[in-house]
């Protein structure tokens, strides 16, 4: 068990045997023996490894072990294998802590992920996806207003959402399943509108998988779903009108801040719904490219999504005497000093890593 834990933590931090040996002051050969179960580290060695791996010593004795299945990355072709393994290792460690916490709180606020029964069995065109997004919003009692924090909404409905600092900012994220539970991971470095679109896009894959007719591209369908879910057709028409020849950049910026959907995604929504003609859409794209706005849009960035459910549940378990301060600190990957500082509301709020 300890050997597997050392290996998992090393994988999550992206350290080689040699790099960990240098940080911990232990030989690479010794670490290799620990990881393969040929030798057992002393308490002093565990302390050194914990410090080098940025974990608490309790981590090495945690009983929960999970396995990621059906792992799929978006835009992963340029990432080295080492980075992919680091991402997966970090995500596994986060999921283990979440599962351990859920076992302490069997009556928590998280629902079982379930799709509505009235979704169409077959979707033949991209236009039909508008209705699918509307039905899902209705089934989840979301109405048509902007969703303030998409991460919280998804977590409450049984989708585990994690952020990994191991994912570069120019990379969207990954999806997987753990025990049948869907998992979505996004980069903690990406701006909020990009995170939100990725989350909605991956939700689209979950909703549309097995429903698309032959000839309907799944990526295009997931993109259409993401836009329709974040900005429902009825609201887009209220905001933009029925037909336009141009959309002012400042107008798009205001809508971006209100819905957490990028200016370019709003342009695409207008084209999808026939509010902008294809020709006018191309003109607007050229306008954005000429100003180099296709990579970095003007105006303020949408605040990044911050998963908060895990932090909330840790403090709930603490308040109900289900765990002590040491366990709470371990679950949040904080030192006791850092935990007590955040518990007393000094400085920034606690954030799960």
The DSSP line for 9-75 is: HHHHHT--HHHHHHHHT--HHHHHHHHTTSS---HHHHHHHHHHHT--GGGGG-------EEEEEES
Predicted confidence at residue 76, as pLDDT, reads 54
Phi, psi of 34 (to 5 degrees): -65, -45
pLDDT > 70? residue 130: yes
Q: Where are the domains of the chain?
A: 1-61, 66-305, 309-343
Contact yes or no for 75/172 (Cβ under 8 A): yes
- When comparing pLDDT for 92 and 299, which is higher? 299
Sheet holding 69-74, edge to edge: 69-74, 173-178, 181-187, 160-164
CATH of domain 1-61: 1.10.260.40
Does residue 196 contact residue 222 with C-beta atoms inside 8 Å? no
For the chain, what is the mean pLDDT? Answer: 89
Alpha-carbon torsion (290, 296, 301, 304), positive or negative:
positive
Residue 352 has pLDDT above 70, yes or no: no
Confidence at residue 347, expressed as pLDDT on a 0 to 100 scale: 62
The 10s digit of each residue's pLDDT in 198-250 is 999 999 999 999 999 999 999 999 999 999 999 999 999 999 999 999 999 99
Stronger pLDDT, 57 or 265, i.e. the higher one: 265
Cα gap 298→71, rounded to integer Å: 34
Rounded (10°) angle between helices 28-35 and 43-53: 100
pLDDT tens-place string over residues 327-350:
999 899 888 899 999 999 876 555
pLDDT tens per residue across span 3-33? 888 888 888 888 889 999 999 999 999 999 9
Q: What pLDDT does 72 receive?
A: 83
DSSP characters over 129-198? HHHHHHHHHHHTT--SS--S-HHHHHHHTT-EEEEETTS-TT--EEEEEETTEEEEEEETTS-HHHHHHH
Higher model confidence: residue 60 or residue 62? 60
- pLDDT of the residue at 190: 86
**Which single residue is written with the structure tokens 């080689």?**
16
Which pLDDT does position 213 carry in this prediction?
97
pLDDT digits (tens, 9 = 90+) for 189-200: 889 999 999 999
**Given a cut of 80, is residue 74 above it in pLDDT?**
no
Three-class secondary structure assignment of 100-128: HHHHHCCCCCCCCCCCCCCCCCCECCHHH
Contact predicate 296/91, CB 8 Å: no
**Looking at residues 175-179, what average pLDDT do you find?**
87
The answer to whether 331 and 97 have CB atoms below 8 angstroms apart is yes
Find the Cα–Cα–Cα–Cα dihedral 309, 311, 312, 315, rounded to 10°. 160
User: 342 by DSSP, 3-state: which?
Assistant: helix
DSSP 3-state of 241 = coil
Give the H or E element holding residue 34: helix 28-35
SS3 state of residue 165: coil
Position 348 scores a pLDDT of: 54
* Per-residue model confidence (pLDDT) at position 63: 67
Q: Is the pLDDT of residue 142 over 80?
A: yes
The pLDDT of residue 34 is 92
Nearest to 89 by CA among 210, 174, 214, 191: 174
Is residue 4 within 8 A of residue 60, CB to CB? The reply is no
Say if residues 303 and 258 touch (Cβ distance below 8 Å). no
Contact 160, 175 (CB under 8 A): no
Both tokens assigned to 29: 């050969």
Torsion of CA 135, 139, 145, 150, to 10 degrees: -110
Q: Which helix (H) or strand (E) holds 173?
A: strand 173-178
Which residues have CB under 8 Å from 131's CB, separation 6+? 120
Q: CA gyration radius for the chain? A: 23
- Asked whether the predicted pLDDT for residue 80 surpasses 90, the reply is no
């Amino acid at each position: 068990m300890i050997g597997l834990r050392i290996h998992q933590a090393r994988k999550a931090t992206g350290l080689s045997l040699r790099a960990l040996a240098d940080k911990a002051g232990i030989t690479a050969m010794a670490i290799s023996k620990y990881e393969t179960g040929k030798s057992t580290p002393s308490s002093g060695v565990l302390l050194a490894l914990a410090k080098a791996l940025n974990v608490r010593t309790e981590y090495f004795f945690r009983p929960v072990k999970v396995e990621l299945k059906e792992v799929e990355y978006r835009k992963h072709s340029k990432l080295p294998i080492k980075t992919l393994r680091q991402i997966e290792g970090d995500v596994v460690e986060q999921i283990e802590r979440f599962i351990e916490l859920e076992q302490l709180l069997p009556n928590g606020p998280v629902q079982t992920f379930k799709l509505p029964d009235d979704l169409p069995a077959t979707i033949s065109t991209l236009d039909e996806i508008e209705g699918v997004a509307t039905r899902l919003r209705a089934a989840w009692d979301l109405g048509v207003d902007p969703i303030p924090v998409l991460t919280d909404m998804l977590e409450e409905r049984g989708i585990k959402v994690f952020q990994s600092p191991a994912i570069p900012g120019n990379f969207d994220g990954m999806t997987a399943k753990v025990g049948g539970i869907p998992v979505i991971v996004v980069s903690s470095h990406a701006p909020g509108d990009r995170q939100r679109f990725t989350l909605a896009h991956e939700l689209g894959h979950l909703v549309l998988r097995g429903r698309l007719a032959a000839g309907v591209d799944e990526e295009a369908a997931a993109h259409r779903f993401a836009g329709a879910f974040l900005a429902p057709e009825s609201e887009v028409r209220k905001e933009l009108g029925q037909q336009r020849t141009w959309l002012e950049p400042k107008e798009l910026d205001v809508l971006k801040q209100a819905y957490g959907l990028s200016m370019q995604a709003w342009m695409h929504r207008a084209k999808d719904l026939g509010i902008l003609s294809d020709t006018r859409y191309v003109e607007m794209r050229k306008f954005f490219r000429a100003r180099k706005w296709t990579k970095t849009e003007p105006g303020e960035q949408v605040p990044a999504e911050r998963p908060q459910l895990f932090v909330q549940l840790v403090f709930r378990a603490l308040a109900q005497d289900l765990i002590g301060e040491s366990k709470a600190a371990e679950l949040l990957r904080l030192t006791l000093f850092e935990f007590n500082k955040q518990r007393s509301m000094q400085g920034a709020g606690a954030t799960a890593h």
